[in-house]
Structure 1
Amino acid sequence: MDFLKSAVASAIAQGPPFPYSFGDRVDVDASIWTLYNGTRRANGSNCSIFSFDVTANRSRLPLAKNALKKLRTMRHPGVIKVLDTVETDSYIYIATERVVPLRWHVKRKSLSPETIKWGLYSIARTVKFINDEGTSVHGSLRVASIYTSESGEWKLGGFEVLSNVKDDEAIIYTYGSLVPDSGRYTPPELARSGWDAIKRSPHSAIDAYNFGTTIFEVFNGDFLGADQAGQTKGIPPTMHSGYKRLVNANPKARITVGAFLEQGRRPGGFFDSSLIKLTEGVDNLGVKSEDERERFLDDLDQLSDDFPEDFFKMKVLPELLKSVEFGGGGPKAFSVVMKIATKLANEDFEARVQPVVLRLFSSPDRAIRVCLLDNLPLMIDRLPQKVVNDKIFPNMVSGFTDVAPVVREQTLKSVLVIIHKLSDRTINGELLKYLAKTANDEQPGIRTNTTICLGKIAKNLGVGTRAKVLIAAFSRSLRDPFIHARNAALMALAATGDHFTEEECATKILPAICPSLIDKEKLIRDQANKTMDVYLQRIRKAAASMPDTVLPPPQTTEGAGPRMSTPQPSEASSWTGWAISSFTNKISSASGEMQTSGNGAPTPRPASPSASLDPGRTTATPTTSSASALHRQAITSPALSPAPLSRASSTTAPEAYFKDPSPAIDDDGGDAWGDMDDMYDEDADDDGSGFSDAPSTEPATVRPTKKEPIVSPKPFDDGSEPDFAGWLAAQAQKKTPGSKPLPKGLTKSTTATNAAGKKPMAAKPAPKPVVAKKIDMKPKATEADDDGWGDGW
């Protein structure tokens, strides 16, 4: 083989330039030609090269020259296409389109009956053209002279003895017997009388007989001789009658190939098939009327999978793509394109289909856009990620804002198809921006599909914004008036629970689900219960792993007065027991009677539990836990305004602050609880204007003052909270002019009276307290409103 290639290369070097390179040799039937696969040097395209060695076959040189001449001049779609030729004294080269001998397919039996009919139809048309329009005789028609192109079409060659019957010196009369294996295929009249008998019979008779033997060969294999002529083994029954008339022993009784063709094209004939109709209509698809195009596409869509793939790829697909893009083929033609494209290799798809798809995505035709989106799943795996992200998606997003709802909905559905081809920046930027718009679409179905889409692409969203986007979107959908939108939101929440933290589940998601538990629709109520169970199980599991408390253990300070105790586990039998235990834990040791004022009300307790102040004494006497000591203190000490709880005690019983039935506090008083720290002055002196958490260890010197009348406190109300309003009023009297006003809702003063019904004498003004830093206890507004979830991304 290497020697042969070198010899050919040497011959080419000595002759005229031949811009083709020789490749592998292709084995064929006995022929005067040697067939090679070749390539064009300029662009590397495929071709075939028929080579004739003059020195080795000089006796058959006229046959080679006749074939060269006829191939150059015979122009027909069914004839092998010639690209270039070179003729010298030592060789003849004919470069043609890439072809494969039909014998290969016949031996492998790789041709379906429909494909064989289609091929025979093409050869019959070519022979009819040679006989009728060309007034010529092929003279060597057989399987060995037929080839298949890259498109799978059958091409006719073997023009060694092709002759015009008007030429009395035609080569067929002289050299017909020199064709290899001519004896097996020679008609009976020529076998008896020689090749001159052609002149005494219809000139088409020899080709009609050879076409019959070709039919036998393609269905059965080899044709061994005249004895097999007329046998119908393997031949379709619909073809029997015409086949027998082709191989009739009497040349004048034979039907022409043209007549056989017409017989087969009749309705119900053997050439009446969808594949043959396709080959006739695909070439002029662009000029067909709309009705003709519709019928053609219907026939094309009904083709089965056993038709030649190469023909669809090389011939049908380009015509359909041109029809879709320029000829008005529309969505139906593109659907057939995608059916064909599924059988293409990735390289062929990228070269033939992808450029057209990219151009179609920029088309303003809504029908084309919807068709593209419908077929996107069939081609998304063939499209590179960069092409989808940079070229297809920027054109596709225009569908999100299209006025036609069907375009918006189809664009939304396509997000699930292309999401894995988009970059993180595109997903968390432009895509979410458009999904925020479809979430507010006027069409309830589009809103519902947006919720479903977000649930399915949740794993593709950025970790930093995923929870915020999903919570806002699903919470909004839970309030949608469309029942299926609410149901989709609940199902999406149940499916995406792993993307939220336990805190988000407890503080944001569960409160949003709760209204759905009493939805008017049972479908929503049932789904809400299912979704609620998902989150409750997760929260309970998280809570089980949490510590019992994060508060530090209680510490006792030597010399410190009694404080309200921290709730102990043993006191958990009653949820309010720990809150009042500081007042009742010593009640068993209390004795005597409560000292009352003149109006029958109990005398208020001293301002601070850490020391009992007596005007007649100059030192502070530490209190004891006995009731008698408290009793003596109550009757000997001047009545002071009720003191606020220390910070430790004020946080011990939060339930006591949730409501205050006192009429002195208006409805807006809850907003002012955050300003109560203004009353706590950690840096003030021990004159009653400030309070310290730790008791004083040094003796407190009290300046002798005029004895003040006893203040009658407000009578105890069994259902009310401690009289914080009275205490706040007393504090307000002690403030100097220009000090900070009381919090909103607590400005109404309550003035205590003594037993005689007179107002008590004002106490000496205390030094101006240092105002503590104001701490705003109001809940802060969230940054992103649920209704504006698209803006928070």
Structure 2
Amino acid sequence: MDFLKSAVASAIAKGSSLPFSLGDRVDIGDSIWTLHNGTKRDDSSACSVFTFDIAANKSRLPLAKNAVRKSRTLRHPGVIKVLDTIETESTLYIVTERVVPLSWQVKRRSLSEETAKWGLYTVSSTLKFINEDASSVHGAVRASSVYTSESGEWKLGGFDILSSMKEDDAIIYTYGSIVPDAARYTPPEVVKGGWEVIKRHPLTAVDAYGLGVLIFEVFNGQFSGGDQIGKTTNVPPSMHQSYKRLCTANPKLRLSPGHFVEQGKKHGGFFQTSLIRLTEDMESLGLKTDAEREEFINELDNLSDDFPEDFFKMKVLPELLKSVEFGGGGPKVLSATLKIGSKLSADEFNAKLTPVIVRLFGNPDRALRVCLLDNLPLMIDNLPQKVVNDKIFPQMTSGFTDVAPVVREQTVKAVLSVINKLSDRVVNGELLKFLARTANDEQPGIRTNTTICLGRIAKNLGQSTRSKVLIAAFTRSIRDPFAHARVAGLLALAATIDVFTDEDCAGKILPAICPSLLDKEKLIRDQANKTLDLYIQRVRKFGSTMADTVLPPTVPTEAEPIKSDSRPSNSNDKSWAGWAISSFTNKIATANGEIEPTAGVASPTEPDHTRSASVPRPAKSSPSTQLELPKHALRPTAQPLGRSMSDRPPQAVYEPPEEDEGDDVFDAWGAMDDDEKEVDPFTAAVASPSPSSPDPSANKSPAVPYDDGGEPDFAGWLAAKSQAKTKKPLPKGLGKAGASNVTVAKATPKPRVVAAPAKKIDTKPKDEDGDDGWGDAWD
């Protein structure tokens, strides 16, 4: 049988003259009609097609023709919307909006009480219209005559015996008994006296009884016969009284569908529900005052999730969109709209909501903009990337520079929602420019949120700009006067540690974190320690993988002596302390050389006593040097200072005087330079005394009984300097030849000495100590 039905349906679908194509069959059982899902050929929209096979049900053809005729003429929101009717020699077609039988949900008992009351209210209101306004009788009210539309609304159908009581030959009188399964649903008075008895009773009696049967089916699943009518099993208590009056055996005492609606609508009645009130107020939403609209939105927010979603998608949502865009619905209506829109599929969202959202982002209303930004997370998944990048984000950018702080702040927060829908060019170009503005915003909260935003979108930034931008932003944030901004900067650095290079971590980030360790706020100090530990661990880990040195290995040659472990210090200590002492000794030698520049260069032919007192003794690794000279030979004496220039080799005189400064610099780095060349000038000077200048004090006992082991004689140096200060220097050019090495050295260039008196300079003796004519060389 199923195979034959499918074959017939396929044959019908191939009819080229029909304006629709048939799809799956929907069996409803208790009807003379067969229901199919269909598609209109002109616009490919969904529809339903009721088909009647004339050859198979020829005896019920009058019922089918009556249904076709009444469907064309009866128009009401609670009635199935008929799109077209077609009559052929073999089949009758009624093309309607897409519907499904209510019997499916009734048999599964999947209806909630709120939805059931809402549907019964719709059917009761429709029956009131049929009975009172159309003066007609439906005659077959039951679950199989009710359908649900795509919006979830209940629609009344089954107009097989719908008759006007103004007609003397109404079809209900003749064919009412051949309706499928009529024995179960026929009122008791009709069972006894036939359909003609309805003329003697109230017009509403038959449909009131059918409404009672429908109530029982909706709450119990099925109706088996007249013995169940009037039972209150599973019927809501608030409906018991009215329900019993619908089912009473006396037709004159039955409550009409119109009165049933009135009782339900009374204060505290069973039809006083949020869903029913929403349905009634929805169509006039654009005309409501602000207070009435506020009440409507509150009702909408209070609706639970078990309400029919299809109704909100198909009916409520379009009305809300109209109110928002044209009726001044405001942010609250928009929030309700987007809440419903979040339950739409991607295709439905793009068709119904996306165009409206794009237009709303161009609306100058700040409250509307803030509402859109707040609800972006609910709708961003359904918005196409091209729409977000090309249409929505360009409208959003005005929020970064808006005068209202709340708009700027919400715009920064919304970046997290749209970042994955933006192109790399937009992210690394426009977006970073706007975030740079908000990072310097006058509002501390906006600066803080900008730092958080940058930390969370770090992975979306380009590699060429990521490190530069983030380091600048975060290090500036941890210097922000707002405490929470500093915390945000430290947290952002900790969260984005993987995006920085090891060199940046050590050279830029760690120095920036350190001041926060002594922040006045304990919260910041604690976070600074945590962040610092993370970066130190990373730097140490990277440092452990580095090579010990990048310098090439040094291979000694025959011309170079083997490097000795001894250094110009007071011991063989190779630790950092030994180098520190050696460095300090070099500084003393440089200072001595500045006062006596000619004594700073040692000649291999000079005797050992010409070496400066600040030069340390040679290392113990040179035994020959220590055996040849006694310790007191390293002490400075007055006799070498009285030597004339004729006693010195010509090489010791430096001309021109302008090069003295270069020699001083060389002397200052001499120790390091000599160490690199593996030559110890101090050892060489001690080991090779000059025979031409005998030291008269060489065989004398040391001036100081304490042997300092070659350490610099700071006490003697200070004493000599103090004695020099007490002596009043002579005018330039009047000094004795042997008074000072510095004076003799400056007097050597005779052309300069002769030219000096010709200049107009003050010859008054100067009080400055150490004035030895150093400046004459720069005249």
Q: TM-score range by the shorter chain?
A: 0.7 to 0.9
Aligned to 1:290: 290
State the match for 1:574 in structure 2: 578
Residue 311 (structure 1) aligns with: 311
CA shift, 1:42, in A, is 1.4
Q: What are the superposed Cα offsets for residues 314-333 of structure 1, whole Å, 9 maximum, x if unpaired?
A: 11111112222222122211
Equivalents in 2 of 1:88, 1:2: separation in Å? 23
What is the CA distance between 1:38 and its match in structure 2? 1.1
Q: Is the 8 A contact 2:598 2:653 kept in 1?
A: no
Give the share of equivalent positions with the same residue, in percent: 59
C-alpha distance in 2 between matches for 1:11 and 1:478:
76
Q: 2:599 aligns with which of 601, 604, 608?
A: 604
With over 3 angstroms needed to count, the CA separation of the structure-2 counterparts of 1:140 and 1:549, relative to structure 1, is: closer
CA contact (8 A) 1:572 1:578 kept: no
Aligned equivalents of 2:255 and 2:573: distance in 1?
112
Task: Give yes or no for contact 2:428–2:461 (8 Å, CA) kept in 1.
Answer: yes
Displacement after TM superposition at 1:559 (Å): 6.1
Offset of residue 550 of structure 1: 4.1
Structure 2 partner of 1:502: 502
1:430 aligns with 2:434: no
Would you say the 8 A contact 2:586–2:671 is kept in 1? Answer: no
Aligned residue number for residue 345 of structure 1: 345
Conserved? CA contact 2:556–2:562, under 8 Å = no
Q: Post-superposition shift, 1:379? A: 1.7
Kindly provide the CA deviation profile for residues 194-213 of structure 1, in whole angstroms up to 9, marking residues without a partner as x.
Answer: 11111111111111111111
Name the aligned partner's letter for residue 404 of structure 1: A
Aligned CA distance change for structure 1 residues 634 and 515 (closer, same or farther; 3 Å): farther
Q: Structure 1 residues 543, 181: closer, same or farther in 2, change over 3 A?
A: closer
Distance 1:413 1:752 in 2: 83
Distance 1:106 1:648, change over 3 A: farther
The corresponding residue for 2:685 is: none
When structure 1 is superposed on structure 2, of 491-500 and 127-136 the one drifting more is 491-500
**1:432 Cα deviation after fit:** 0.7
Q: For residues 551-579 of structure 1, what are the alpha-carbon distances to aligned partners after superposition, in whole Å with 9 as ceiling and x for unaligned?
A: 45556676679999997983434341453
Counterpart mapping for 1:585-604 below 5 A: 604=599
Q: Measure, in 2, the Cα distance between the counterparts of 1:489 and 1:570.
A: 44
Secondary structure in structure 2 of the residue aligned to 1:32:
coil
Structure 2 alignment gaps of length 5 or more: 608-621, 635-639, 655-659, 681-711, 718-731, 753-779
The letter for the 2-side match of 1:760 is: A
- How big is the shift at 1:30? 2.3
Write the deviation string for residues 648-697 of structure 1: whole angstroms up to 9, x where unpaired.
986676899xxxxxxxxxxxxxxxxxxxxxxxxxxxxxxxxxxx9999xx
Tell me how far apart the structure 1 counterparts of residues 115 and 45 of structure 2 sit (CA, whole Å).
Answer: 27
Does the 8 Å contact 2:121/2:261 carry over to 1? yes
Matched, 1:476 2:476: yes
Aligned-residue offset at 1:718: 4.9
Structure 2 letter corresponding to 1:267:
H
8 Å CA contact 1:208, 1:254 repeated in 2: yes
Tell me which amino acid in the other structure corresponds to 1:378. Answer: L
| Distance (Å, rounded) in 1 between the aligned partners of 2:604 and 2:737 | 23
Q: Which moved more, 1:562-571 or 1:228-237?
A: 562-571
| Contact 1:26-1:37 within 8 A present in 2 as well | yes
Instruction: Check whether the contact 1:571–1:578 (CA below 8 A) recurs between aligned residues.
Output: no
Q: Which residue of structure 2 aligns with residue 127 of structure 1?
A: 127
Is 1:760 aligned with 2:747?
A: yes
TM-score, normalization: structure 1?
0.75
Whose helix proportion is higher, 1 or 2? 2
- Equivalents in 1 of 2:269, 2:735: separation in Å? 119
Residue identity in the other structure for 1:309:
E
Aligned partner (choices 639, 649, 652) of residue 637 of structure 1: 649
Structure 1 range deviating more: 401-410 or 512-521: 512-521
Report the equivalent of 2:55.
Answer: 55
Evaluate the alpha carbon distance shift between residue 608 and residue 536 of structure 1 in structure 2; reply closer, same or farther with a 3 A threshold. Answer: farther
Tell me the distance in 2 between the aligned counterparts of 1:438 and 1:750: 72
Deviation sequence 1:179-221 (CA, Å, 0-9, x none)? 1111111111111111111111111111111111111111112
Rate the CA distance shift 1:109–1:750 in 2: closer, same or farther, 3 A.
Answer: farther
Is the partner of 1:604 in helix, strand or coil? Answer: helix
TM-superposed deviation, 1:511: 2.8
- Alignment check: 8 A CA contact 2:212 2:246 kept: yes
Change in Cα spacing, 1:457 to 1:753, as seen in structure 2 (3 Å) is farther
Distance 1:107 1:555, change over 3 A: same
C-alpha root-mean-square deviation of aligned residues, in Å?
4.0
Instruction: For 1:525-564, list aligned pairs within 5 A.
Output: 525-552=525-552
Distance in 2 of aligned mates of 1:440 and 1:154: 58
Whether contact under 8 Å (2:600, 2:667) holds in the other structure is: no
User: Which residue identity does 1:96 align to in structure 2?
Assistant: T
- Deviation at 1:298? 0.6
Cα distance in 1 between the residues matched to 2:241 and 2:388: 57
Is 1:241 paired with 2:241? yes
- Aligned partners of 2:162 and 2:605: how far apart in 1? 131
Quote the Cα distance in structure 2 between the aligned partners of 1:391 and 1:126: 46
- 1:561–1:610 CA contact under 8 A, matched in 2: no
Find the aligned partners of 1:377 and 1:566 in 2 and give their Cα distance: 73
Judged with a 3 Å threshold, the aligned counterparts in structure 2 of structure 1 residues 755 and 524 are, in CA distance, closer, same or farther, namely farther
Q: Counterpart in 1 of 2:386?
A: 386
Q: Distance in 2 between matches of 1:652 and 1:233?
A: 111
CA apart distance, 1:408 = 0.3
How far, CA to CA, are the matches of 2:487 and 2:736 in structure 1? Answer: 64
SS at match of 1:83: strand
Q: Could you tell me how far 1:146 is from its partner in structure 2? A: 0.8
The verdict on how the C-alpha distance between 1:578 and 1:58 changes in structure 2, with shifts beyond 3 A counting, is: same
Using the TM superposition, give the Cα deviation of residue 356 of structure 1 relative to its aligned residue in structure 2, in angstroms: 1.9
> Helix, strand or coil: the match of 2:95?
strand
Equivalent residue number for residue 206 of structure 2: 206
Contact 2:22 2:37 in 1 (8 A): yes
CA distance in structure 2 between the aligned counterparts of 1:357 and 1:753, rounded to whole angstroms: 100
1:87-106 correspondence runs (5 A) = 87-106=87-106
Contact 1:153 1:311 in 2 (8 A): yes
Q: Residue type matched to 2:376 in 1?
A: L
Question: How far off its partner does 1:411 sit?
Answer: 0.6
Cα gap change, 1:601/1:100 in structure 2, threshold over 3 Å: closer, same or farther? closer
* Partner SS state of residue 59, structure 1: helix
In the alignment, what sits opposite 2:689? Answer: none
The aligned runs of 1:28-107 (5 Å cut-off) are 28-107=28-107
Question: Structure 1 residues 173-182 or 3-12, which shifts more?
Answer: 3-12
Question: Which 5+ residue runs of structure 1 have no aligned equivalent?
Answer: 586-595, 613-623, 657-691, 696-715, 722-748, 766-793
CA contact (8 A) 2:151 2:315 kept: yes
Aligned residues: 659
Deviations 1:245-287 (A, max 9, x none): 0011111111111101110111221111101111111222222
**How far apart are 1:389 and its partner, in Å?**
2.1
> Does the CA-based 8 Å contact 2:108-2:221 persist in structure 1?
no
Structure 2 residue matching 1:38: 3-state secondary structure: strand
Question: What displacement does 1:516 show?
Answer: 3.0
Alignment partner, residue 274 of structure 2 = 274
CA distance in 1, matches of 2:426, 2:576: 55
Name the SS of the counterpart of 2:353 in structure 1: helix
**Whole-angstrom distance in 2 between the partners of 1:111 and 1:752:** 123
Deviation of the 1:162 alpha carbon: 1.0
How many Å apart are 1:164 and its aligned residue? 1.2
Report the CA distance between 1:753 and its aligned residue.
8.2
